[in-house]
Structure 1
Amino acid sequence: MISSAIRLICERGVSATGLADLLSRSRSSRNSLYQHFPAGKSQLVEIAVREAGAAMDVDLCAAMDGATPTQGVGLIVDDWKRRLTTSDYTRGCPVMGAALAESEPAVQSAAADVFGLWRNTFATAFVAGGLPLDRAGALAGFVVSAIEGAIVQCRATKTTTPLDDARAELILLFDNHFQEQR
């Protein structure tokens, strides 16, 4: 059920993902849903967003581990370009979809927590690269925003150009920030 919820949120967002869709995609019964998620769809989606975010954080950590910021972010951008093109631009980020679910406060809170997790992952890598913590945190938040925003634009325009643009501008920014530390 969780993996089905993640896929549906990637494709449709939270609001456009109905309970019937979740049950059909996961081949589960309503009884089974409520047995595992007593609070229903909202609880399932919240858990799905947290799990998707944690899995993506593992990928972020792997990309940033031992890499320069430019190399690590490049790996992340390349992965998103692959995800978008192989899905014909139909699968976005489930965390972004959850962030927009204003009628679901617990789901939106889960998205905020995941964005914070990713920000911390990037900030840790940037501190390891020599930036002071306060600057690393601000830069990390900007990187998350730039990549997430580019993903949304890619889906709308059906091209990976926004991710290429984000990478190019982030490289310039990294050159400036990390050059100062040398």
Structure 2
Amino acid sequence: MNTREKLVSTTSKIIRKKGYFGTGINEILKSIEVPKGSLYHHFPAGKDELIIAAVLYGGEAQILKYGEALRGKTAETGLNAMIDVMSKELIDSNFEDACPIAAVALAAGNIDETIRKACDKVFKGWQQSLAGYLERRGIENTTEKSEQLYAMFEGAYILSQAHRDVKYLELQKKFVKVVLEA
């Protein structure tokens, strides 16, 4: 992994735990032991440019995890497996890791518009990917259903993290079938 990739990967990990405002350049640089000049060599616009790269990276990493959970399964079983991935991430991180995009998106209204657009791009990509998955399984109205499912899952993820209890994610399993059959 080269320096640029380390900067992006490390930033993605830190923003999951600390969000946009809690992620500091000095912490990132210290954790991978590179000088400040390396950051500006790879990201001339500084922190915001690095955050955008980390959001896109985190989005790609997350969609790969979800894809593995969904692969080869019926829609309902696959979506329940996707919820299991989210629950496992929270439990394994002792409820410290937020959704890699929501952690930044929550602050996006107070920061740069290009960061908000990067979050929007990732969320839309996830929704489109899920819509394609649902369509391949014979589900109708896949765009609306994928948007509804992600809204449910993101809300449940945030509540599960806040309450340190995955029951809010697990509760979504009751409604997956309802959404799919609507």
Same fold (TM over 0.5): yes
Conservation of the 8 A alpha-carbon contact between 1:60 and 1:121 = no
Residues 86/65 of structure 1: CA separation in 2 closer, same or farther (3 Å cut): closer
Residues 34-92 of structure 1 show CA distances to partners (whole Å, capped at 9, x for unaligned) of 01111111111100110111122222233333321111111111111111111110001
What is the distance in 2 between the residues matched to 1:11 and 1:108? 19
What is the distance in 1 between the residues matched to 2:66 and 2:165? 23
Conservation of the 8 A alpha-carbon contact between 1:19 and 1:41 = yes
> What's the counterpart of residue 47 of structure 1?
53
Q: 1:82 aligns with which of 85, 88, 92?
A: 88
Identity over aligned pairs, percent: 25
| SS of the residue 1:38 aligns to | coil
Conservation of the 8 A alpha-carbon contact between 2:149 and 2:179 = no
Alignment of 1:16-165 (within 5 A): 16-100=22-106, 101-102=108-109, 103-132=111-140, 135-165=141-171
Give the TM-score taking structure 1 as reference length: 0.89
Residues 91-136 of structure 1 show CA distances to partners (whole Å, capped at 9, x for unaligned) of 011110121222122221111001011101111111112233xx11
> What's the counterpart of residue 4 of structure 2?
none
What is the distance in 2 between the residues matched to 1:171 and 1:93? 23
Note the aligned Cα RMSD (angstroms): 1.4
What is the distance in 2 between the residues matched to 1:26 and 1:142? 39
Structure 2: any 5+ residue segments left out of the alignment? 1-6
Give the TM-score taking structure 2 as reference length: 0.89
Residue 140 (structure 1) shift: 0.2
Residues 4-50 of structure 1 show CA distances to partners (whole Å, capped at 9, x for unaligned) of 10111100111221222222233222111001111111111100110
> What's the counterpart of residue 180 of structure 1?
none
Structure 1: any 5+ residue segments left out of the alignment? 178-182
